Amino acid sequence: MTLRIALRPAPLLLRFILPRPSLLLHQLPTRRAGHGPGQRVIHYMGHQAGATQPPTPHKTIHFCSQCAGPVDLKFVSSEDRWRHICSACSHVHYLNPRNVVGCIVEHEDQVLLCRRGIQPQLGKWTVPAGYMELQESTAEGAARETLEEAGAAVEIVAPYVHFDIPGIGQAYLLFRARLAPPFTFAAQAPESLETRLFPLEDIPWDELAFSAVSLALRYYVEDRRSQSWRMHHGVIRKQAGAGPNDPGSFKLTDYMGLPLGAERIQTQA
């Protein structure tokens, strides 16, 4: 029987955010000739002479955070980008992708999922994840989000998937993690209507909130069945106007699956 309790104090979080030393010794297979398994060559050509200038984006910043002067959109040809630049002090206001960090938490051959209590995708299931904060590492952020959304302290095992979603300006980094002793989690949390452990065969695929989470869990199930872990990377290309996880509205490109030969899956007793 699984016990469920309320959020645990923050100090317990800090004990389990780092992988065990033995898990830092993964060795990736290499090949000197050609391209090894899962490798891709990706070229960025930049702005070519005579090419059409990128369309003007929507202006989202109107006043400078440094001097309160007016901000204009200007095209920087050397960077092939439109930038928000202060007309008074010339400060450049960069708009960068947001990092989403989280955990695929496993316990007794089950995974921990949360049913979202906020928009977007209210009522849909997802892994505990959210935006990375300043002054924290990706592993710290993933553990913090798991504590906040599932009330669970975890031991981070290893990075597992990294997905870029250029269309919405996000980058996902999800870690494999295990419930830490005493192996408890909250039945619900401020941002979660419900938190449950699901056997792999019972994952609610049609009720998952986000495309990145759906892909990550599919790779997780595949790796467990093959009894070998991989590190997964890819770019999720979404159709214009598509929802967060509309079937058939996105595709994965530039995929890389890197085998982690030093670690084999051990079924938990």
Per-domain residue ranges of the chain: 60-95, 97-264
Q: What is the CATH number of domain 97-264?
A: 3.90.79.10
- For residue 29, what pLDDT band results from cuts at 50, 70 and 90? very low
Question: Beta strand pairing status for 154-165 and 170-179?
Answer: antiparallel
> Burial, 215: exposed, middle or buried (Cβ in 10 Å; 0-12, 13-18, 19+)?
buried
What token pair was written down for 241?
């106007």
Q: What is the CATH number of domain 60-95?
A: 2.20.70.10
Per-residue pLDDT tens digits for 136-187: 999 999 999 999 999 999 999 999 999 999 999 999 999 999 999 999 999 9
Residue 69 above 90 pLDDT?
A: yes
Q: Is the pTM of this model over 0.75?
A: yes
Same fold? 60-95, 97-264: no
C-alpha 134/C-alpha 170 separation (Å) is 16
Which long-range contacts does 41-50 make (Cβ < 8 Å, 24+ apart)?
Answer: 42/254, 46/80, 47/77, 47/80
Of 229, 236, 212, 136, nearest in space to 176 by CA: 229
C-alpha 186/C-alpha 97 separation (Å) is 31
